[in-house]
Amino acid sequence: MIGSETILGKPVRFMKHSYSSADKSRLLRDVIRSLLLHRVWFFIGMQDVKRRYRRSFIGPLWILLNLGMYVGAIGFVYGVMFGQDLKAFLPYLMLGFVTWGVISASVIDAGSVFVSAEGYIKQFSYPKQIYILRAVVSASTNFAMGLLAVAVVQIFIGTVQISGWILAAPGLVLLYVALLGQTTIFSYLGTAFRDLPHALAGVLQIVFYLTPIVVPASVLKTHGLEFVYLINPIYHLIEVVRYPILTGELAPLSSYGFVSIYIVVVYCVAWYVAGRLDKKVVFLL
């Protein structure tokens, strides 16, 4: 019987373990199937971008204008305040800001991934992970436009290095692997705990000022505050992209190592969270 200690002569605990293994196998199949359905999540992600700028006169160019106004104002004020050479500081600030934008989206905006896809989830039998990939595609538009703006600024001030952009490729791969894991975690948690994205927005405001984005890392180092960013995974995620573009060389190996360890931890957490909540998403919406 169900309530007894054994079922068909097997302990209940053994049956629960078997069910859990089957659940994990189903989740793995859904992940693989989602990757194969690349046309679906890419199309939906691009539709989100088009919808965001519908009836806008200049469309996605607003990303460049907003970034230009922000960096122009902040760059001038902080550049003068910290005695920085604007030719070096402006690309540093822009790269930090645009990379921070896509990282923060994988935490805050991820909380509404399944909520905003409620209609799709309840009507279609697609695996839920396609909506996570959809969110990454949508966030990538702002990131791509930001990188384009950085390249234009570097060309204008004469500091662009083609080799640096090429060497940034490994960092970009690591960044997107991490973003996918983070988006997975907070997509599920944000569906179960609707207050979480709002709480995380406040936490990230603090992390923003603890990360060398507006304030150069050299300034923190001069004041003996290296620990503020050396143990900060977001700093290293930014650095593996920013450092090669600015210097034409690979980032320090410590940053690649830190990011690799961080990715392993993130995916372990993502696998656990997804395994616990995947089947409950429909009931939580």
Q: Which of 18-27, 189-198, 231-240 has the lowest mean pLDDT?
A: 18-27
Q: Has residue 49 been placed in a domain?
A: no
Cα separation, 64 vs 75, in Å, equals 15
Band of pLDDT at residue 73, cut at 50, 70 and 90: low
* DSSP bridge partners of 10: 7
Q: How many domains does the chain have?
A: 1
User: Does residue 184 carry a pLDDT above 90?
Assistant: yes
DSSP for residue 210: H
Cα separation, 77 vs 98, in Å, equals 19
**More confidently predicted of 50 and 79:** 50
How does the average pLDDT of the chain come out, rounded? 82
Band of pLDDT at residue 163, cut at 50, 70 and 90: very high
User: Does residue 88 carry a pLDDT above 60?
Assistant: yes
Say whether 8 sits in a helix, a strand or coil.
Answer: coil
Q: Has residue 181 been placed in a domain?
A: yes
Residue 82: per-residue pLDDT: 63
Q: Has residue 16 been placed in a domain?
A: no
DSSP for residue 107: T
Q: Has residue 7 been placed in a domain?
A: no
The number of angstroms, rounded, from the C-alpha of 240 to the middle of its chain's C-alpha atoms is 14
Provide the CB-side half-sphere exposure for 157 (13 A, CA): 14
Which residue in the block uniquely carries the two structure tokens 């034409």? 248
Cα separation, 137 vs 143, in Å, equals 10
Residue 57: per-residue pLDDT: 64
User: Does residue 49 carry a pLDDT above 70?
Assistant: yes
Q: Has residue 50 been placed in a domain?
A: no
User: Does residue 259 carry a pLDDT above 90?
Assistant: yes
Domain with 245, as residue range(s), is 58-284
Residue 266: per-residue pLDDT: 96
**More confidently predicted of 189 and 19:** 189
Residue 56: per-residue pLDDT: 66
- The pTM score is 0.83
* 3-class secondary structure per residue, 42-94: HHHHHHHHHHHCCCCCCCCHHHHHHHHHHHHHHHHHHHHHCCCCHHHHHHHHH
Q: What is the largest CA-CA distance in the chain?
A: 77
Residue 257: per-residue pLDDT: 94
Which residue in the block uniquely carries the two structure tokens 């999540």? 41
Band of pLDDT at residue 166, cut at 50, 70 and 90: very high
Q: Has residue 35 been placed in a domain?
A: no
Mean pLDDT of 257-279: 93
Q: Has residue 23 been placed in a domain?
A: no
Q: Has residue 226 been placed in a domain?
A: yes
Band of pLDDT at residue 64, cut at 50, 70 and 90: low
User: Does residue 167 carry a pLDDT above 50?
Assistant: yes
**More confidently predicted of 244 and 5:** 244
User: Does residue 183 carry a pLDDT above 70?
Assistant: yes
Cα separation, 65 vs 71, in Å, equals 10
